[in-house]
Amino acid sequence: MGTKRLDKFLSETANVTRKEAKVLLSKGKVFVNGELCKNGDSKVSETDEILLDGKKLGAIEEFLYLMLHKQAGVVSATEDKKDKTVLDVVREQEGEFHIGKRELFPVGRLDKDTEGLLLLTDDGELAHRLLSPKRHVDKIYYAKVSGIVPEDAVERFANGISVGKEYEAMPAKLEILNISLQENTSEVQITLREGKFHQVKRMCHEIGCEVTYLKRLSMGSLQLDNNLPIGKCRKLTEEEIQKLKEDIR
């Protein structure tokens, strides 16, 4: 990763402008490895311990990777005139991971009413590869649907179901988890290798069922952390990042 100017590091990790960083430095608020440092030109590296107002700033990372347990009611966008966005949700937790000046964005979209795993990053290359139709990264969803999933649906999904007149979906795996004859509902798990608009909902519609609840459980090797409360995010672990990179190699 090499070294970075201290004022640049501060602006990236403490969510301040370069000018504000200089003021903080001149006021003696910054310590590098235990020594007061007022010089923004100083070079720092990821092994340095940098304190701002006595608080340790995260080590320099080239990119930030966040897992969000998306709740229903927020849109997968960076800004929106009407609705709360996933970026707004992440910013509410900002203090924990220093977004700074990073331009984070969601990797792909979940519908407003869909819950579950959403990756946010500023690593454009990784995002591009994960979403590339050529790479077919598996996405696993849990869905509750109205109606009883017909017996031939598993085979239809496996063969590539036609979605309206528009396209034929790639082969997908449909697992029937539960059927309630009493409530006339089914629970299913669906593995898709592509990510077209409303795809799960539209595929279920083709087999005569309507999705009433949808949650994404995984994307490639990245699985939704069961301990992550809904509406919260956390940084990916080094291992999760490496595995994702292997998925798209």
* Footprint of ligand URA (CB under 6 A): 110-111, 114, 198-201, 214
Choice between 201 and 234, CB closer to ligand URA: 201
The Cα-based distances of 116 to 31, 71, 141, 202, 248 in angstroms read 40, 7, 9, 19, 21
Alpha-carbon torsion (31, 36, 37, 43), positive or negative: negative
Residue type, 18: R
Q: Which is nearer to ligand URA, 18 or 196 (CB)?
A: 196
User: Residue 79, CB half-sphere, CA atoms under 13 Å: how many?
Assistant: 2
Alpha carbon 25 to its chain's center = 34
Nearest approach in angstroms of CB 110 to ligand URA is 4
Cβ distance to ligand URA smaller for residue 153 or 214? 214
Active site residue 48: no
**Minimum distance, C-beta of residue 48 to ligand URA, in the bound complex (Å):** 42
We find the least distance from the C-beta atom of residue 200 to ligand URA, in angstroms, to be: 3
Task: Pick the closer one to ligand URA by CB: 4 or 139.
Answer: 139
Smallest separation (angstroms) from ligand URA to the CB of 243? 22
Q: From CA 111, how far away is CA 160, in angstroms rounded?
A: 22
CA distance 241 to 103: 18
Choose the catalytic residue: 111, 138, 225, 247. Answer: 111
Enzyme catalytic residues = 111
